[in-house]
Amino acid sequence: MPNMMKQKPRRFFLTVFAIPAILATFSLWHFFDWNALGAWLLSANVVALLLWFFDKTQAKRSGWRVPEAALHIMSLLGATPAAFIGMKFLRHKSMKLHFAIIYSVLFLLQLALLMTWSGSAP
């Protein structure tokens, strides 16, 4: 696994994101009768926020970092609120204007999609 982290860090961190998020989503949906989308959004954001925290810690230590592309993909998959929290409260990536622009546009698109999707439900 450490070899994968060095050779393909984006794939490694997306795997680290996906596996616990999927397991938590399944658990919330199956055992606690949550709505699948709500379970995914909560799970994805909690795991993504942990990875933002890890990346901030690693930045201070000059250690292995989570690639920006992996952070963007996590947000694309629904973890945009975690990105905003990471930027605001962890003060991580907050000086990068393109992060704020990307996440703002992505959040608005996701919100519109969520409103459209939930509005079309019977």
- Which stretches of the chain are DSSP H helices? 2-7, 9-32, 36-61, 68-74, 80-89, 97-119
Instruction: Report which of 15, 77, 10, 67 is spatially closest to residue 45, judged by C-alpha positions.
Output: 77
- Domain boundaries, given as residue ranges, for the chain: 2-119
- 64-107: pLDDT as tens digits: 889 989 998 999 999 999 988 888 888 766 667 777 788 889 88
Contact 52, 83 (CB under 8 A): yes
- Predicted TM-score (pTM) of the model is 0.84
Give the C-alpha separation, 7 to 94, whole Å.
Answer: 27
- Give, in degrees to the nearest 5, the angle at Cα 56 between 54 and 61: 90
